[in-house]
Amino acid sequence: MKFAICAGHGKNDTGASYEGYTERDLMVLFRDKIAGSLRELGHTVVTDGDKGQNLPLNDAIKLIKGCDVAIELHTNASENKFAEGVEALSLEKDKVLSQRLCNTVSKCLLSKVRGDGGWKSQEESARGKLGFVSAGGIILEVFFLSSPKELRKFLISESLLARNIAILLHTLK
C-alpha cells in the first residue's frame, strides 16, 4: 500500500507549544517514526518533507492523491491543562479507520477517545472545513500537548505508538 504520513504545521508555523515543546517538532519526529515503521513493513510512504523537515500544508495536500491512506498528525491544545484524549477528523468514508486509529492511540497512551468513537466530521472542528480532510485525508489529533500528563505519556510511549499505528495500517487491505 501507499501511505502519506504528514506532520501538521509547516515551516514557520509551530502550532501549539508547551514547556518548550512544539506541536510541529513533536509531530515531525513522530511522522518520521511511523513512516520508518511502514517502510520496514514493505509499504511505500511519502511524507511532507525529508527526515526532520516539515513542508507547508499545500505541499501535504498534494501528497494525498495517489495514496491509499493519508494521515496528518497534530496535537490538541486547551486552556484546561487537564484536557485529554484522542480524536480524528475525516470525511465519512474514513470514519471506521479514524475510529481504529483513535482506539490504537487510546490503548497505547491510556487516554480517552473523544467524539464518536474517536471520529469527528470536519464540520465539528473549530476551523470548519479543513483542506487536508476535504482532499481525502485524516487529521489525527494524537493527544493534548497542553496537558502535562498527556505530554509525559506521549514522550514515554512515542516509539511504541508509532509502531502500533504502522501495524494497524499494515493490516489494511
Q: What is the pTM of this model?
A: 0.95
Residue-wise pLDDT for 55-65, tens only, equals: 888 899 999 99
What is the C-alpha to C-alpha distance for residues 149 and 144, in angstroms, rounded to an integer?
Answer: 9
Band (131; pLDDT cuts 50, 70, 90): confident
Q: Which domain holds residue 131?
A: 2-170
Average pLDDT of every residue of the chain: 94
Q: Per-residue pLDDT for 126 more than 70? A: no
Mapped onto helix, strand or coil, the DSSP state of residue 43 is: coil
* Predicted local confidence at residue 24, as pLDDT: 94
Question: In 3D, which of 71, 75, 93, 92 has the Cα closest to residue 138?
Answer: 71
- Across residues 136-162, what is the average pLDDT? 97
Residue-wise pLDDT for 1-49, tens only, equals: 999 999 988 778 888 999 999 999 999 999 999 999 999 999 999 999 8
* Predicted local confidence at residue 160, as pLDDT: 98
User: What percent of the chain clears pLDDT 70, i.e. is strictly above it?
Assistant: 98
**Rounded to an integer, what is the distance from CA 142 to the centroid of its chain?**
6
- Across residues 75-104, what is the average pLDDT? 96
Number of domains observed in the structure of the chain: 1
Reported as half-sphere exposure (CB side, CA atoms, 13 A), residue 52 has a value of: 0
CATH code, domain carrying 100: 3.40.630.40
* Predicted local confidence at residue 173, as pLDDT: 73
